[in-house]
Amino acid sequence: MAAGAAIGLAVLGAVPASADVSVPVTPTELFNNLQACSTDANAPVVTDARLGVDVEGIPATTDPTALWVTEQFQLYPVSDPTQLITGAAPNAYHGNEAGVRLGNGTLVDGGTYAWQARSVDATGAASDWTAPCYLTVDNTSPAQAPTISSPNYPQGKANQGGAPIQLQFGANGVSDVAGYEFSWSGSFGVLGGATIGDHGVPQYQDPFTTSKYVVRADALGGSGTVSLIPPAGLGSYLQLSVVSLDRALNQSPVAYFQIVVKPDGPAVNQQGHSPQFGKPAAYKLTADPGVQAASPVVSFIVQHWGDQGPTTETVPASGNGTAVVTETLNGAYGDMLLVSTTSANGWTSRPTWWTSGYRNTTPTVASDVYLENGSGGGVGVPGTFNFTPKIKSAGVARIPTRSTGARR
């Protein structure tokens, strides 16, 4: 935004006149710090104004040929309207949002202010001022971290997994807490941005309605309740980070809540004897009883580490939380399966490992003349070497040779 601000006691003067004639139109689509202006003095927009307040609106004139128009702004404390802070956008594009930043570093924390805008055309004629927009400055973050409790996953004990984690956040005595933001990763996003629509009009993204990681308090200074399914892959030891938010979206210090989930992966049982290398093997998969009771398991996620690296498939579960999967064991040094379950409510269990153990697939080499780790044969003495595979389906090689004394 183009910005020019000055503190004064008089109403802004008009711009120099020119030959064009038009009638300025009072600006519309008024916003402060990307939020829609509030004309209700009893319900001001609460905003962080440490860097000032970005005020904007759409100026216009009745001249259909006009491309540019000036938009003027004035801001003042409600308690003393004579203490004006003024600014102007002198080359605003007709019919589009334009604005300035007012009060950088000068607005009083906790103070309530009003601001207005007007259009000024090329002749110097000015429209009426808009009705006042009201805002209250809140530059102070909540001093206390929120409280966190869970009725079904309490801290300090191992809990059965499968059910959503019920959590309640409390303001910890801070009276202006408006809501709470939470994170499984420990990082928090920037809240309160906007997308820009036609004519530059901001479309404010209220985090209390647009973010799945923010919950509104039931009253100012009240509590918030969430029901969470943790992301897959976090393991049995979970940590949720939570901050409280005031109406200006200032964040409190972080509170942490640790959750321990009992091993809840499925049982993996090989059916029948160990198969030959390269042959299919059947495995019965059975969901953890506690997970199945909390919400029916709908599928198993099976990762197989064999000769081609990891492959993944999703196997539908029957109504009783079981399934049979067939895998070809082809790992040169053994095979591993990593199996987890997905429940109807979205819960993903911890994984269960199954391994065939180390498999040695290197062939054996023997000779009736040239003994391994022994003496035999010699220069010019023919010998036969037998190569015997450990894999039953592989062929057998027999190579006659005559020693020449050379080493390879």
CB 232 within 8 A of CB 261: no
List the one residue out of 366, 356, 355 whose CA is nearest residue 388: 366
**Same fold: 5-137 with 147-261:** yes
By the 10 Å C-beta count (0-12 exposed, 13-18 middle, 19+ buried), 244 is classed as buried
Pairing outcome for strands 397-402 and 382-388: antiparallel
pLDDT of 319 above 50: yes
Residue type for position 280: P
Rounded average pLDDT over 186-215: 93
Which has more confidence, 2 or 35?
35
Q: For residue 246, what pLDDT is reported? A: 98
Q: Which fold has domain 147-261?
A: Immunoglobulin-like (2.60.40)
Q: For residue 364, what pLDDT is reported? A: 73
Highest mean pLDDT range out of 16-25, 142-151, 350-359? 142-151
Q: Quickly state the pLDDT bin for 355 (edges 50, 70, 90).
A: confident
Note the pLDDT tens digit of each residue in 173-196.
999 999 999 999 999 988 989 999
Q: For residue 404, what pLDDT is reported? A: 47
Q: Where are the beta strands (DSSP E) in 62-137?
A: 68-77, 84-93, 98-102, 112-120, 133-137
Q: For residue 85, what pLDDT is reported? A: 97
User: Domain coordinates of the chain in residue numbers?
Assistant: 5-137, 147-261, 267-355, 364-402
CB 93 within 8 A of CB 68: yes
Rounded average pLDDT over 153-175: 97
Half-sphere exposure of 400 (CA within 13 A, CB side): 3
Q: Where are the beta strands (DSSP E) in 229-276?
A: 237-246, 255-261, 267-271
DSSP string covering 104-115: TTTSPTT-EEEE
How would you classify residue 156: left for phi > 0, otherwise alpha for psi between -120 and 50, otherwise beta?
Answer: left
Q: How far is CA 306 from the centre of its chain?
A: 33
Q: For residue 65, what pLDDT is reported? A: 85
- Dist CA 8 CA 5 (whole Å): 10
pLDDT of 406 above 60: no
Residue type for position 241: S
> Helix (H) and strand (E) counts for the chain?
2, 30
Lowest mean pLDDT among 117-121, 189-193, 197-201, 402-406: 402-406
Q: Which fold has domain 267-355?
A: Immunoglobulin-like (2.60.40)
Note the pLDDT tens digit of each residue in 253-300.
999 999 999 999 999 999 876 666 677 889 999 999 999 999 999 999
3-state secondary structure of 400: strand
Note the pLDDT tens digit of each residue in 43-80.
999 999 999 999 999 999 998 888 999 999 999 999 99
Rounded average pLDDT over 346-371: 79
Q: For residue 377, what pLDDT is reported? A: 74
CB 162 within 8 A of CB 291: yes
CB 182 within 8 A of CB 213: yes
- Dist CA 25 CA 150 (whole Å): 56
pLDDT of 392 above 70: no
User: Is 0.85 surpassed by the pTM of this model?
Assistant: no
pLDDT of 396 above 60: no
Pairing outcome for strands 255-261 and 158-159: parallel
Lowest mean pLDDT among 114-128, 137-151, 210-224, 344-358: 344-358
Q: Which fold has domain 5-137?
A: Immunoglobulin-like (2.60.40)
